[in-house]
A and B are shown apart, each in its own frame.
Chain A
Amino acid sequence: MSSNLHQAGVKLLKQLGRHADLIMDVYLSGSIAEDGENDSAIDKLRKADILWRPEPGQELRLKRSVRALLEEALSDERNRQIDANVGSSLATIKTLADHYKEARHSADYSASEAYLADLSEQVYSFTEGLKYSIRVLWSRINNEFGYVGTINAKIRENELAQSQVSELLNGLEMFQFSELGEIAGDIRELRKLLVTRLQETLSDCTQELSVVQGRLLELLGRFRQIQGRTRLLKGWLLYTDMHPDYEVADHVSHKQLPTLFNRAEAILAPAAVDVSNTAQEVELLAMVSQIKSISRAGRDLVMRDHDVAFALVEAEDFDIPDNPLKLAVDEYFCAVIDSGINQSALDYLRQKEMDWDPESWLYQVICGYEGLPEEHRRYFELEPIGERHPVYSGNFIIRDVELGLA
C-alpha cells in the first residue's frame, strides 16, 4: 500500500515537473484555453487532477491545492487566502488523540504508533498553517496592500485582513488547554504535543496577531485620513461651485479665537541692503572692500594642444655653438702656454683690443680656470690681483687676475 502511494506520488510530481512551463502559465494567467496546441499535455494534467473545469464551457483552471503550493512556495503576495478554520483542526486533533489513547489502552503498539504519527503531523501542520497565515498578513501589511491601486481598494483589503485576523483570534479562543490537558492525561507524548507544543505556538501567534491587528487599524486610519482629505478638497470645490456667493463666515471675530487662526504677524522682516541710501554709502563701501572674492573659475585654465601629430623618429643631430667669450678665454690660455710668461687677464684684453666687458671677461677667465679638468688645471696658476676691503675685513676685491704656468 505504502509503496503504491509512493509510486503514485512520484508520478504526480514528475508530471508536475514535466509540464512546469504550462502549469506556471496557468498559474499566472488564471486559466488555460484548449486551443489544440498542448492538447496531450493538458489532457494528462486533467487526468492527474491538476487541471480542472469548474463549470462546463469554462476554461481549465489549476486545482486549489496546486495553486496553494505555488503561492506558498513563491510567497506570492496575491495570496489572500487564510485558513481560519481552527474548529475542524481542533476536532481532528481531539479525535486522533482519542484513537491513540484507545490503541494504547488495548496495548496495540503498532496502531498507537501510527496514530501518534498522524497526530503529530496534524499538530505540526496546524501550527505551521497558523504561522503561515500570519506571515501572509504581515507581507500584505508591509507593502501596504501595494497590489491594489486605489485607496478605496486598499481600505477594502484592509477590512478583509481585519476580519481574517478576528476570525483567527476567535478560532484560537476555542482551544481550551484544560480540556486538552484532560485528554492528554498522564501520557507523556500526548502532553508534549497537545499541551507544551501547542500552547507555546498559540501564545506566540495570539501575541503576534494582536500586533497585526494594531498595525492594520493604524493603516486603516491613515488610508481614511488620505481619503478624507481628498473628499474634503472635492467637497469644498463642489460646495463653492454650487454656492458661488458663499463666503467663509468670520471665524475670528468671536471672543474665543480658535488657535488655528491665531497667527502673529512677522516682526522680523527679511533684511536687505538699501543700496540707494547715500547716507550708508561709506559703511557699505567699507564692507564691500573687505569682501574677498574667491574665484576658482578661470584659474587653472590650461590650453592644451589637441591632435598634435606625434611620430617617434631618431633624434636629429644638433650642436650648441660655442660661446665666443669662452673661445676667447681658451685662446688666452693658449697664449699663456705659448709665451710661457705670466700675463694679467685685463692686460691681455687690452692688448688684443677685444670689446668684452672687463668684468664678464674676468668672470669667464676664472670660470675657464675652474672648469678645466684637474690634470690640466695643475699646469696653470691663477693669481687674483686686488686689495682688501677698506672697511669690512675679510673681504677681498678682485681687480684683475694673472694667469701663469705652474
Chain B
Amino acid sequence: MSSSTQTVLVGQGALIEALLRGEFICRTSNEDAWRALKSQTTRDSVEQYLNQINRTLASAGEGEVFFCGYLQLGDDERKVISSQFRDICHALIPLVEWLVLVQEASGQDAPLSEGAAVRLNELQTRIEDTPAFREQLAKISHYRLFGSSSTQVDAQIKLVFKRLVELGYLLRPNQEKQIYIATGKLDYLYEVIRFIDETEGLSLEAQAETATQRDLI
C-alpha cells in the first residue's frame, strides 16, 4: 500500500463526508473535492460507495456543482425531498429579490454567480444612499427566510448576509473582512428557476424582455 493511494483514500473520505453533510461542492467552496469529482475514476468510486447507502452523486450547473441525492426513492425519501422542495420554493422570492438588489445596487450587468465577490461595505453604502434600495432591502430582510425585525440598514444587511452564509449561498473566506464570495449553490438556484420556467411554460425571459422594451418606450 503506497502512501499515495492512502492520501487518495483519505481525500475521498473527506469528499464523501462533505457530500453526506448535504454540502454543495463547487470550485469556490471546496476546490480539492471539486477537482477530484471532475475525474471520472474518482466519481465512479465515490458513486460506488454512495450507492451502498442508497445515495447517488448528482450534479447541476453544467456539471460544475455536485451534491448528493437518493439512489432509490421510497416513501421516506420522497417526504424528505418534498419538504426540501417546499423550502426552496419559499426561499425563491426572497433570494431572487436579493440577487436583483445586489446586481442593481452594484450596477453590474451580470447577476451574482459562482466565484463572484461582494464587498459588503461598498454595497451597504450604495444601498444607504438610495431610498429605493433601502426600501427593497427592508422588504427582503423581513421575509421569513431572513427574519430581521430591525429598521437599520446595517443590521438588516448583516443579518441577510449571515443567513446566506449559513444557507451556503455565500462564503466568507476571511472572518475579519466583509468580503463574501458566491458559491455554486447560486448556480443551482438559477437552474431551479430555469427548470420551473421551462416546465410550467412561464416564459420568464420573454416577459422580462417585453417589460424592458416597454420601459424604453
Contact = CB atoms under 8 A, between A and B. Distances in A.
Interface of A: 149-151, 154, 226-240, 247-253, 257-270
Nearest to A259: B58
Interface string B68-96: 11100100011011101100010011001
Interface stretch (B125-133, B154-162, B171-179, B192-200): B192-200
A230 B190 contact: no
Contacts of B60: 260
B55 interface: yes
Contacts of B109: 149-151, 154, 226-227, 230
Contacts of B20: 264, 266-268
B15 to A, nearest CB: 12
Interface in B172-217: 188, 190-197, 199-200, 202-209, 211-212
Given A237-B96, A252-B85, A264-B69, A258 B195 contact: yes
A266 B82 contact: no
A36 to B, nearest CB: 42
Contacts of A269: 21
B208 A232 contact: yes
Contact of B110 (A149, A229, A234): A229
A258 B211 CA distance: 31
Interface stretch (B4-12, B35-43, B97-105, B141-149): B97-105
Interface of B: 17, 20-22, 53, 55-56, 58, 60, 67-70, 73, 77-78, 80-82, 84-85, 89, 92-93, 96-97, 99-100, 103, 109-111, 113, 188, 190-197, 199-200, 202-209, 211-212
Given A226-B109, A230-B110, A235-B197, 14 more contacts: A151-B109, A227-B109, A231-B204, A232-B190, A237-B100, A238-B204, A251-B85, A257-B81, A261-B85, A261-B192, A262-B69, A265-B22, A266-B22, A267-B53
Nearest to A230: B111
B73 to A, nearest CB: 6
